[in-house]
Structure 1
C-alpha cells in the first residue's frame, strides 16, 4: 500500500551540476515509486529545464508542503523553494546555487525533525559554491551534524561487497592524524557495530586500518601511532564483545573485505577509505551519514560540472542511495 512506503525527501544539491538530471532519470526506475513515496526538495523551474537534457516526460508537480504530494508514477512532486532562475549557468560555480543547495538541505532537515519525512537522500553539492554562497562547511555531513545538534557522527560508504566507515573525513592528512584518538576510534568501531546490527547482521566482523604502511610494522614505520591511537580502542571494543581486528595493513585489507573476510572496514582518513570504494565504480557507491538522529543517504560522486547539461550523467548511485534510504527508514510509519 502507498501509505506504508517511507516518505523520502530528495534534495536537489547544486542546481548547476548533474543533480537535477540524475533525479529525473532516477524517477524513470520503477523501483523508486514501487518502494517509496519520494519527492524533490529544490526548484521546479530547474527540474523543468533538466527535462530538456534527459528526455523525461514526467510532469513536475509543484507543491508547497509535503501533504500536497500525490506520489503518482507519471509525475514528480517538487517542494518548490523557488530560489533560482532557469537561466542559472550550467556547469559553473555559482554562489546562488551554493546557497540554494544549503537551503534545500536545511528544509529537508526541518521536515525530518518534524517527522514529515522518513529519510533524506541528497544529490551532490559543490563545496566551493557552498562556501561562496556564505555557508562555510566542508560538505553535507557537517551541515547535517550542526543542524541536528549531533557532535559524534561518521561517514559510511557502501558499495557491493564493501562498507567503509571513517574516523576522519574532510581534513588535511596532517590534521587527520592529529585528530585520531583512541576515544574517536573506539566510537567509530562501536558505531560500525551498531549500524550493522540494525541492518540485520547478527555479529558484524569489523576490521580496523592502520595509519602507517603495514600498520606500522611493530614500530618500523611512523612514530608509534598505531600503539598510541588504535590498539587501545580495539582492545576496549574486544573487551565489550565486539568482533574486531586491527590495526591491519590497509594495502591488503580492502581486498580481504571484498573477498568476504570482514563486513566493514574502519578507515582512518578520507582517501584511505574513499579510494577503494571508488575503484569499484562511482555508480556503485552510496554515502551514508551514521550517528545522526535522522536517516541520510547520498550519491558518492560530485556535481560533475564537466558533463552537466548533457544528459549523460549516470543515475545508478542515486537509485541505490534511494534504495538504502528505504531500507534504513523507520518502519511501520
Structure 2
C-alpha cells in the first residue's frame, strides 16, 4: 500500500451553523496534518468570520483553487463562494443553503477528478439547501445520483452499534407503502457488503427490525412482517447472508441483545436513529454505504441555537474524519487482496474460508 497521505475533503456545511466550529476544533491539533491532508471547501472570508466569533487564534488556512494543489503539511481551503456572502449566525437563510451546496458541488467535482480521496460533510439545513439545483432530501441522495449508486444505505456507526435504515428522509405516513420485499432485500444486501468490505467483518450478523409494535404480534398488529419483511429475510438467508428477524425494536434495543449483532436494519429513520443517538450521540458517525467513494458526516445537525458560542462538541466530526480514512484504507486493502490470487490463497488458509 502507498504511504502517501490521504486527502480529506471537508465541506463547510451551512455557514450559519456550527460547521466551521467543529472543523476548526478537529483540525486545531498541529499534528493532525501528519495523519492526513485536510482540504476544506468553503470560504476563507467565512472562515475568518467564524474564527473571530469563536475567538480562535493561531489557526491559518492555505488558500488553493482545487484539491489537486493541497499542501500536505497545511490545512487547505478551496474558495467556493464570492467574498460578498453574508453570515447570519443561528439563522436559516437562503444564502446559507446556497453556500452549503456550492461547497458540496466543488468537493464532489474534485472527488470525481481524483484530486481528493474521501469526503466528510459538515451539517446542512435541508429547508434552505433544497432548491432547483439541489432537489434532494439530503446529502445521501445527492451523492447517490452523482456517483450512479443505485443501491446505497444510510448507516449510523459507532464502536458500540451500527444501524442502517430501509427508508430515510420520508414522512412516516409513507413508510409502510415504501416497504417492499425488493427494497428491504436490497438494503440487506448492500448492508452486508458494506460490513464485509468497509468494516472487514467476515460473516456479518444483521438484525432486521419489524415495522409494527411487537413486530406485528403474528399479524395482530399489522401484517408487513409476515408478508414483506420475513420473506425478504428468507431470500437473503438463501443467498448466504446472516440476516435474522424481524425483531421488535423496543425488545432488541431494550434487552441488550443488540450486542450479539454486527448491525441492525431499521425500517424507518427514527426507529433506528433515536436509539442509536441515545446510545452513541457524541461518537456517532453517519456513513453512506454502497457508494463507490467514501463519505461520512457527524451524526448531528447545524445546531443553529449554539452557533458562534464555542459550545459545539467536535467529537462526532472528528470520528467522521477518522472513519473516512479507515474505510478508504480497508477498501484499498480489499482491492489489493482481491486482485492478487496468492494473497487470496493465503487468506483462505488463515481464516478457513475454503472449508
TM-score, L = length of structure 1: 0.93
Cα deviation for residue 229 of structure 1 reads 1.4
Whether 2:105 is the aligned partner of 1:106: answer yes
Counterpart position of 1:182? 181
Moved more, 117-126 or 254-263: 254-263
Q: Are 1:83 and 1:100, in contact at CA under 8 Å, matched by a contact in 2?
A: no
Q: 2:81–2:99: 8 Å Cα contact kept in structure 1?
A: no
Q: Which range moves more in the overlay, 254-263 or 109-118?
A: 254-263
Aligned residues of 1:9 and 1:121 also touching (Cα < 8 A): yes
Tell which structure's C-alpha radius of gyration is larger: 2
Q: Within 1, Cα distance between the matches of 2:155 and 2:76?
A: 29
**1:22 Cα deviation from its structure 2 partner:** 0.7
C-alpha distance 41-173 of structure 1, shift in aligned 2 (>3 A): same
Identify the residue that residue 351 of structure 2 maps to in structure 1: none
Partner residue of 1:63? 64
> For the aligned residues, what is the CA RMSD?
2.1
Quick check: 202-211 or 258-267, which moved more?
A: 258-267
1:133, 1:18 → 2: CA distance? Answer: 25
Contiguous gaps of at least 5 residues in structure 1: none
**Would you say the 8 A contact 2:195–2:201 is kept in 1?**
yes
Aligned equivalents of 1:84, 1:227: Cα separation in 2? 58
- Give the CA deviation at 1:29: 3.9
Q: Report the CA distance between 1:12 and its aligned residue.
A: 0.5
Aligned to 1:241: 240
Q: Secondary structure at the match of 1:101?
A: helix
Instruction: Please identify, of 319-328 and 54-63, the stretch whose mean Cα deviation from structure 2 is larger.
Output: 54-63
Matches within 5 A, 1:1-333: 4-29=4-29, 32-52=32-52, 53-72=54-73, 75-83=74-82, 85=84, 87-131=86-130, 135-198=134-197, 199-222=199-222, 224-255=223-254, 260-329=259-328, 330-331=331-332
Pair 1:182–1:88, CA change in 2 (3 A): same
Deviations 1:83-105 (CA, angstroms, capped at 9, x unpaired): 45464211111111101211111
Alpha-carbon distance between aligned partners in 2 of 1:56 and 1:129, rounded to the nearest angstrom: 31
- Following TM superposition, by how much is the alpha carbon of 1:231 offset from its aligned partner in structure 2, in angstroms? 0.8
What is the DSSP-based 3-state SS (H/G/I as helix, E as strand, rest coil) of the residue aligned with 1:116?
Answer: coil
Offset at residue 60 of structure 1 (A)? 1.4
Q: Secondary structure at the match of 2:130?
A: helix
The 1-side partners of 2:256 and 2:111 are apart by 34
Report if the CA contact (8 A) 2:37-2:75 is conserved: no
The normalised TM-score by structure 2 is 0.87
